[in-house]
Each structure stands twice: as structure tokens, then as C-alpha cells.
Structure 1
Amino acid sequence: MGIFAAIGVAGTGLTVHRKWLDAVSDNIANINTVTATSEEAFRARYVVAQEITSGDGGVQVAGARFGDPEGRLVYEPDNPLADEGGYVRYPDIDLSSQMTQLIMAQRGYQASAAVIDRAKEQYQAALQIGRS
């Protein structure tokens, strides 16, 4: 694999990890979003990645999966959105799982960025050799 191919493959990794980070941060930001029981809860978004088998390869976002619109019912009779029974609906999002995914996506992004940096350094070194 050449230097430019490595940059291309790592670039696809950057894109997927950025979209994963976006989804996780959106999930975390909406973890306490409350709705009435007559409405759907915020649906967590999960990025689905897929290998690129053509060309130099890499990875791409194949789509997204969404969490359960039922969420979880919580008894909060003082909440203005509460139904007659005193219940409201929260998203079914596990904070510890989201934080784990956040760390994995962040590390993957950093690894892809490091590959691009190393490939760029190799390319610049090759240019210096050619000038000598």
C-alpha cells in the first residue's frame, strides 16, 4: 500500500469515527430529555460501519440504527408533562455504555489521525530525498 492509499484509508476512518462521535454526543446530550407518555422518547442513534472492499479499501458508514421509541417510564408526578398516573417517558440510554463508546470512537479517531500524520511525514521525507 502506498503513502497516498494509507492516507485515503485513514481518511475514511476519520469520517466514520467523527460520525460515531457525533451520534454518541447527541445521545449523551439527550439522555435526560423527557416527553409525555403519549409521545415517543428520544431515540438513541447508533452508527453502523461497513468495510469498503473496492479500491484501496477502508470503512464507510452503512447506516444507522435507532433505539427504542418506548424508552422508559419514570414516575414524576410533579413534572408538567406527567400523565394522569404521574409518569413521563425518558430515552432508554445507558450513560456508561455511551461513555465507553465515546472513548472507543475518540481513540479510533486519534489512531486514524496518527496514520495520516505518519504518512505525511513519510511523503515529506521522500520529497527531501528526491531533492538531494
Structure 2
Amino acid sequence: MKLSGFDISASALTAQRLRMDVISSNIANAETTRAAYVNGEYVPYRRKEVVMEPVQSNFSDILNGKLDSQGVQVTQIKEDPAPFKQVYNPTSPDADENGMVNMPNVDILKEMVDMISASRSYEANVTAMNASKAMFVKSLEIGRA
């Protein structure tokens, strides 16, 4: 399987778009204290992360020169194992006997940094795709002359 520059950029665009969707979900649920019902009680939303890896290729094909480039793929969306934040709010219906409420393990500042990173990666791949397109158009113009 040989990937062109378009295929590589397209795989990265798809992966970064999914990453932005997951980050948006994290931000939207940063205050959700009842995301799931587990073992008879409600638990807060748990932050999710996107895991990306290079497209798997056959090692013998690489050695034989059949593959000269790879793309990226999302292999999983996993939950962040970090502990929930504890906030004192005795008036909350989710408060325990000490007035503490488990809040999601989402840090808005970290999510915004991740969103900027994903957005910049997306833009870089759009730029690479446009550069490939411009080279194809130029080669067609040269061939016409």
C-alpha cells in the first residue's frame, strides 16, 4: 500500500479532526458530575484522550522499497486515569457527608492548549495538501507546453 502526499495529509486531517471533537467534548463536560451510573452511584465525566499511531505497514515491504511513506491513524480514545477533582460544595446534590463533590478531571487550560495544537496540526496538513495540489497543477501546465 503506497500512500501519496494527499493520502498522508488526509489521514492526518481526519485524526486531528477527531482529536478536536474529543477535546470539545472534554470542555463541554468540564462540570458534568453525573456522566455515568456505576455500581449504584453517579460518577463524574472522565477526560478522554486520542491515541494516534503511524499507519501499520509490512516490514518486508519497507525493506524491499515498496513503501516510502506512511499516514497516521487513531488507534483508540482512552479515558484519562487521573483522579477526580474534589471541591467543597455542601449544597450540591452530589456532595458526600463531608460536603465534598467529585468533579471531572478536566483542566480547561490543558484542553485549550491541546485544541491549539490540534488546530495548528490541522492547518499544517491543509497547507501540505494545498502545496501538493499546486505541484500537480504546475506539472500539468509544464506537460501542456
1:10-35 CA distance string (max 9 Å, x none): 11111111111111111111111123
Alignment of 1:31-42 (within 5 A): 31-35=30-34, 38-42=41-45
Tell me which residue corresponds to 1:24. Answer: 23
- The range that moved more, 63-72 or 46-55, is 63-72
Sequence identity (%): 32
In the alignment, is residue 44 of structure 1 matched against residue 9 of structure 2? no
Once superposed, which parts of structure 1, at least 4 consecutive aligned residues long, lie more than 6 Å away?
A: none
Q: Which digits, 9 at most, give the CA deviation of each residue in 1:4-59, with x for residues without a partner?
A: 711111111111111111111111111111239x3221011100010114243111
Q: Could you say what the CA RMSD is over the residues aligned between the two structures, in angstroms?
A: 2.2
Helix, strand or coil for the counterpart of 1:106? helix
Cα distance in 1 for partners of 2:11, 2:143 equals 29
The DSSP-based 3-state class of the residue aligned with 1:33 is: coil
Shift of 1:70: 5.4
- Matching of residues 67-86 of structure 1 within 5 Å: 67-68=80-81, 71-86=84-99
Distance 1:46 1:34 in 2: 19
**CA displacement, residues 39-95 of structure 1 (integer Å, 9 cap, x when unaligned):** 221011100010114243111001122024852232212223334433322101112
Deviation of 1:104 (Å): 0.7
Does 2:129 align with 1:88? no
**Alignment-derived partner of residue 9 in structure 1:** 8
Deviates more, 1:5-14 or 1:73-82: 73-82
Moved more, 72-81 or 17-26: 72-81
CA distance in 2, matches of 1:17, 1:107: 9
For 2:72, the equivalent position in structure 1 comes to: 59
Q: TM-score normalized by structure 2?
A: 0.78
Q: Does 1:104 align with 2:103?
A: no
Contact 2:33 2:42 in 1 (8 A): no
Deviation readout 1:85-111 (Å, 9 max, x if unpaired): 333221011122111111111110000
Q: TM-score, normalised by structure 1?
A: 0.85
Q: Secondary structure at the match of 2:4?
A: helix
